[in-house]
Structure 1
Amino acid sequence: MSDYNYSANQGNQGNPTDQAAPDAAWSCESCGAKVEFAAGTAALGCPYCGHQQSIAAVPRQVREHAFAELAQLPAKPMAVPGGVRTFVCPGCRAVTESDALSDRCQFCATALVADASLTERVVPEAVVPFELDRNAARDALRKWTSSRWFAPSSLKKVSEAETFKGTYLPHWTYDTNTRSDYRGERGEHYYETETYTETVDGQTQTRTRQVQKTRWWPASGTVQRFFDDVLVAGTTTVAEKQLDKLTPWPLEQAVPYQEEYLAGFQTLRYDVEPEPGLETAKQRMASVIEQDCRQDIGGDEQRVHRIETDYLDITFKLLLLPVWFLTYLHAGKPLQVMVNARTGEVIGERPYSAAKIAAAVLAALAVIAVVVVLLVARSHH
């Protein structure tokens, strides 16, 4: 039987609408204020008195789920049409609407975390917690901006003038054994001596040269491989090509999902279901499998005509990965930067300074001109 109905917040099962976690779960033991997850720790921190209280570990391990379990899961409807969740703030009791799994109260900034088991078809299995806090993310961005050649001077001020937003992004991971039957050709190089003529100083001369040719032989066989944690974005909010640039992720540092890790950060719901996610994962596996086939064929060159792959013992899980987002304006155009909140890797859009590029071109032309003058002067001597 599937265990996807697990929830770290078992006390919030009776209400069919999404709400924040109970007050006791998020209150500071020292001053009573609302607390949130402290990046780089395994604790909740109070933004007022600085007190930290450890997050009690859940008695379970991160596990992979058989893909066949999906057929047994009940379809869980959205909380309301459009997927907007209604949070009741445990601090000021204000009502906040959000399409995220966790957010902040729009009035008092209290951390709001929904019970995923109430509306999600698949509950997160694991989370890679934030390691970099806001200051560390600013430091990473500062190094990134200072290393951008031809960037306008205004880019250097981005890390100071703008604010970050910490967000957990949903991802699917897939494990599977594969068995692939292939047919193709193995190419082996050989050389033939070729005679040709050329004219040198008005005289025709006969010469020879070695010409590489390839002899092809039919090839077929079977290769096998185990794929572990093939990562696929579970959200279309951010382009997958951009998210791929934040890799590699330290997936071995994932911990069992607990709502406390989400407190104080935004968490996006997945909008890519696990079934189409698996098809994307298979596309990623395909290039690796083709390389396995080519290696198995051997020879100097290979042609692969057909590959038929069986996927065995497929498992999956829903994983949350931490990213700091920054959107800034340059010349009226919004540009986005992302920071891997575990490794500090920074990727993003950056403007170019036409003045700096022009100055660099002029400097290069000046250097070339000096070199030419020196060569001409030396030739005259």
Structure 2
Amino acid sequence: MSQTQYPCSNCGANVEFAPGTTVLKCPYCGAETPLAPTGRHIREHSYAEFAGLPRKPISALAPHAFTCQGCGAVTQSDKISDRCQFCGAPLVADVSPADQVVPEGVLPFVVDRSALREALKGWASSRWFAPNSLKKVTAAESSHSTYLPHWTYDARTVSNYWGERGDHYWVSETYTENGETKTRQVQKTRWRPASGVVSRDFDDVLITGTTRVTTQHLDKLEPWPLPESEPYRPEYLAGHDTLRYDVEPENGLETAKARMAPVIEQDCRDDIGGDEQRVQQVQTQYGDVTFKLMLLPVWIACYLHAGHTYNIMVNGRTAEVVGERPYSAAKITLAIVAALLLITAIVVAIAMSK
């Protein structure tokens, strides 16, 4: 397997992509190497053509075997980019379209360690009833920058639906209350069959391409500024981890269709009209389906408290922070006691005023 390392033209050390810039920077002497434009463009790929190609499942691929050009050590990893386990030099694999889907685009890191520290500091300070040790997470030294694989899907959909339209109307109803006859207006609904056809074009439906990160948290980092993405080039990966996808494109497409379904159903309801709608069946045809593999930047931090590990993720473009947090039993207890004392004081004050 071939790989790429980028030596510094000044001191010979390995350079890394500097977040928020368009240069590779040496972490030792500070020398910078500008990234010249490649002239490439991000393209969508026909899913129908891809589905007809012979290929191995991603799970059958062997780990990358990196040979560090600096110290000569051999490192095995299933990541596209990693660091040498011995000298820490950044390593980037040359991915082959014969083995796996090659990334089409990358959203380069903008948030550097300094901005990460500020984001984590703001997040930690806003956590009510968090233990004081949570402030340790703001150090950010234990955090690592990682590009996470995501699939995007485009599709032209045409959906036939069957359901019912409900229109409200009012009737007068008499009733007896305390021996007195009264009249009131009661809402009723008149239902009638409804059917039709709706169409919608979907663009860049984003699906996580890795099972190594909790989707529940990763989804909260959205929206991603995908229009700011750059055509894939391995230089953006230097100095950052990059996970190889383990969600096959076929599975990603099924998840994308599940994301499209509620949007299509709402289109059906809008088309039915009326005051209420019942959508009983929807049959959707997907045309001109295209897809691509994108790499999105995430800072990942781990925080240990009371023997439990909490995961925190930071959007590498927007500095949005999401993750788990512990609670301080002592702070919660003090808050409850303070609240009880305040209530007692108010009750005493009211009693004395009488």
TM-score in same-fold range (> 0.5): yes
1:77 CA displacement: 7.6
Residues in 2 aligned to 1:111 and 1:335: alpha-carbon distance in whole angstroms = 27
Q: State the one-letter code of the partner of 1:245.
A: K
Determine helix, strand or coil for the equivalent of 2:224: coil
Which residue of structure 2 aligns with residue 241 of structure 1? 216
1:89 correspondence with 2:72? no
Q: What root-mean-square deviation, in Å, do the aligned CA atoms of Structure 1 and Structure 2 show?
A: 1.9
Look up the equivalent residue of 1:42 and give its one-letter code: T
| TM-score, reference length from structure 2 | 0.95
For the structure 1 residues 299 and 81, does the alpha-carbon distance in structure 2 shift closer, same or farther, using more than 3 Å as the test? closer
State the shift of 1:351 in Å: 0.2
Residues 118/177 of structure 1: CA separation in 2 closer, same or farther (3 Å cut): closer
In structure 1, the gaps of 5 or more residues are 1-16
Q: Does 1:175 align with 2:154?
A: yes
Q: Give the aligned partner of residue 235 of structure 2.
A: 260
- How far apart are residue 252 of structure 1 and its match? 0.6
Which secondary structure state, in structure 1, belongs to the residue aligned with residue 204 of structure 2? strand
Give the corresponding residue for 1:310. 285
The question of 1:45 aligning with 2:25 is answered yes
Report the CA distance shift for 1:76/1:113 in structure 2 as closer, same or farther (over 3 A).
Answer: farther
The structure-2 alpha-carbon separation of the partners of 1:191 and 1:366, relative to structure 1 and needing over 3 Å to count, comes to farther
Secondary structure at the aligned position of 1:245 is classed as helix
Q: 2:246 aligns with which of 271, 275, 281?
A: 271
Partners of 2:67 and 2:81 in 1: CA distance: 12
Letter of the 1:38 counterpart: A
Tell me the distance in 2 between the aligned counterparts of 1:72 and 1:311.
17
Matched letter for residue 219 of structure 2: D
Are 2:100 and 1:125 aligned?
A: no
Task: Provide Cα deviations, 1:24-47, integer angstroms capped at 9, x if missing partner.
Answer: xx1112222210111111110000
**1:248-291 deviations in whole A, cap 9, x for unaligned?**
11111111000000001111111111011100000000010011
Partner of 2:8: 28
8 Å CA contact retained: 2:57, 2:248: no
**Aligned to 2:96, what secondary structure does the other structure show?**
helix
**Secondary structure of 2:221's aligned partner:** coil
Identity %: 61
Residue pair 2:109, 2:297 contacting (<8 A) in 1 also: yes
Q: 1:116 is paired with a residue of what secondary structure?
A: coil
Partner SS state of residue 83, structure 1: coil
Kindly provide the CA deviation profile for residues 320-340 of structure 1, in whole angstroms up to 9, marking residues without a partner as x.
001000112100111110001
Matching residue of 1:7: none
| Mean Cα deviation higher: 345-354 or 236-245 | 236-245
Task: Pick closer, same or farther for the CA change 1:119–1:135 going to 2, 3 Å.
Answer: farther
Q: Is 1:103 matched with 2:82? A: yes
In the alignment, the residues of structure 2 paired with residue 161 and residue 182 of structure 1 have an alpha-carbon distance, to the nearest angstrom, of: 52
Segment drifting more, 332-341 vs 51-60: 51-60
1:220-273 CA deviation, whole Å, 9 max, x = no partner?
Answer: 111111100000011111122221111111111111000000001111111111
The question of whether the paired residues in 2 share the 8 Å contact of 1:73 and 1:121 is answered with: no
1:357 to 313, 325, 332: 332
- 1:151 paired with 2:130, answer yes
SS at structure 2 position matched to 1:101: strand
Please give the alpha-carbon distance, in whole angstroms, between the structure 1 residues aligned to 2:155 and 2:33: 39
Shift of 1:81: 6.8
**Structure 1: distance between partners of 2:218 and 2:69:** 34
Contact 1:20 1:89 in 2 (8 A): no
Q: Say whether the 8 Å CA contact 2:82–2:239 is kept in structure 1.
A: yes
**CA shift for structure 1 position 314:** 0.4
Paired position in structure 1 for 2:180: 205
CA–CA distance in structure 1, aligned partners of residues 69 and 49 of structure 2 = 35
Structure 1 counterpart SS, 2:172: strand
* Corresponding residue of 2:38: 58
TM value normalised by structure 1: 0.88
Amino acid at match of 2:38: V
* Equivalent position amino acid for 1:221 in 2: G
Q: Deviations over 1:123-163 (max 9, x none)?
A: 00000011111221111111000000111111122212751
Matched-pair contact (CA < 8 Å) for 2:117–2:140: no
The alignment partner of 1:310 has SS state of: strand
How many residue pairs align between the two structures?
354
1:119 deviates by 6.0
- Secondary structure of 2:342 counterpart: helix
Provide the C-alpha distance between the structure 1 equivalents of 2:112 and 2:71, rounded to a whole number of angstroms: 26
**How far 1:198 moved relative to its partner?**
2.8
- Cα drift, residue 362 of structure 1: 2.5
Counting only pairs closer than 5 Å after superposition, residues 281-296 of structure 1 correspond to structure 2 as 281-296=256-271
Residue 227 of structure 1 is matched in structure 2 by: 202
How far apart, in 2, do the equivalents of 1:184 and 1:371 lie?
Answer: 58
- Deviation track 1:67-125 (CA, whole Å, cap 9, x = no partner) reads 112134342587x9773221001211111111111100111111100011166321000
